[in-house]
């Protein structure tokens, strides 16, 4: 074996990790959960204000459920299981609020754009709403 291969593979471990299907599931859960920070950061930088996009909540929900499965079916660790057992509640609640907020938008009679709820005037053309 060459030097690089022997550094990567050592005592039947790749990168010092004993791999199995649940290890892969756990790392995927971590990657999905961690990726939400980049999504939120990107949205915030793009808008130049703190924004929590809907994708953040979907990634939070998906990542935490994968990690909960990892904890329940592989790790069997009560601390880990408890850390992810109830996090889905605020994630789903935030998704419901996002959906309701989107549905509450109205269409401007002046220019046809979607107007945020509780707006008195169209931010695009200035037509009075409601």
Beta bridge partners of 13: 10
**Under the criterion CB under 5 A, does residue 110 sit at the interface with Zn ion?**
yes
Residue whose pair of structure tokens reads 């509640």 in the numeric block: 89
Residue whose pair of structure tokens reads 């996009």 in the numeric block: 53
Q: Please identify, among the stretches 8-16, 45-53, 91-99, 109-117, the one whose residues bind Zn ion according to the rule CB under 5 A.
A: 109-117
Q: Which is nearer to Zn ion, 90 or 123 (CB)?
A: 123
Residues 79-108 that bind Zn ion (CB under 5 A): 108
Residues 111-130 that bind Zn ion (CB under 5 A): 111, 122, 124-125, 127
Asked if 72 and 113 count as a contact pair (C-beta separation under 8 A), the reply is no
How far apart (Å, rounded) are the C-alpha atoms in residues 5 and 50? 45
Residues in the site for Zn ion, rule: CB under 5 A? 108, 110-111, 122, 124-125, 127
């Amino acid at each position: 074996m060459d030097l690089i291969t022997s550094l990567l593979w050592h005592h039947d471990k790749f990168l010092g990790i004993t791999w199995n299907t649940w290890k892969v599931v756990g790392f995927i859960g971590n990657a999905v959960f961690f990726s939400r920070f980049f999504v939120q950061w990107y949205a915030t930088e793009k808008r130049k204000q703190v924004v929590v996009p809907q994708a953040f909540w979907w990634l939070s929900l998906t990542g935490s459920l994968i990690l909960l499965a990892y904890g329940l079916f592989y790790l069997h660790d009560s601390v880990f299981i408890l850390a992810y057992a109830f996090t889905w509640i605020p994630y789903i609640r935030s998704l419901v609020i996002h959906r309701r907020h989107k549905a509450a938008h109205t269409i401007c009679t002046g220019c046809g754009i979607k107007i945020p709820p509780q707006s008195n005037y169209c931010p695009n053309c200035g037509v009075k709403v409601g």
